[in-house]
Amino acid sequence: MLETIPGRHMPTFVVAAGVLVQDGRVLLTQRKPGTHQALSWEFPGGKVEEGEDPRNALARELREEIAVLAVVGDVIDVTFHRYSDHSVLLIFYAVSLAPGSPPPRPVDIADFRWAASRDLGEMELSPADRAVVNRVRRLLP
């Protein structure tokens, strides 16, 4: 049963996130200080702008945040998470680096890390990203 709170409207954002697996590890990015969920780790990506295709949004966000050229593949999972002041509908896509793409570097993030399966349980992941961890682990050796 869906719980509703009378008179309370919270915005819901559509977010496209990438699951980039390379050499048996997955790429995670760390949110900048002063942002929502500051310094937590997440699968890279960001908000889909109004009228924007989520795949294009993800490729754009990856260029802006970590300076890579990405090939966005199939949907891996879709999750929903409610924070205290907003909700997010997350679409997780398989991602690979396009031929000739530079390696990731922190541009509009605090840091990035290539994480092995065992690392995922130890890292401070943002609450919205935790729901997909088990599915991602199945993609890793």
Give the confidence band of 8 by pLDDT, cuts at 50, 70, 90.
low
Q: Distance between CA atoms of 132 and 135, rounded to whole angstroms? A: 5
**Is 78 in contact with 61 (CB distance < 8 Å)?**
no
Number of other residues whose CB lies within 10 A of the CB of residue 85: 8
- Check whether 1 has a pLDDT greater than 60: no
- Dihedral over alpha carbons 87, 8, 37, 55 (to 10 degrees): 20
Q: Distance between CA atoms of 126 and 16, rounded to whole angstroms? A: 15
> pLDDT tens-digit profile of 18-59?
999 999 999 999 999 998 888 999 999 999 999 999 999 999
Measured between alpha carbons, how far is residue 3 from residues 6, 36, 71, 82, 125 in Å? Answer: 10, 24, 38, 12, 26
- Check whether 5 has a pLDDT greater than 70: no
Residue 42's nearest CA partner among 138, 106, 132, 102 is 132
Query: What pLDDT is stored for residue 100 in this prediction?
Result: 98
Give the confidence band of 2 by pLDDT, cuts at 50, 70, 90.
very low
The domains found in the chain, sorted by start residue, are 12-132 (3.90.79.10)
Contacts of 114 (CB under 8 A, 6+ apart): 22, 23, 25, 26, 27, 28
- Check whether 86 has a pLDDT greater than 80: yes
pTM of the model: 0.91
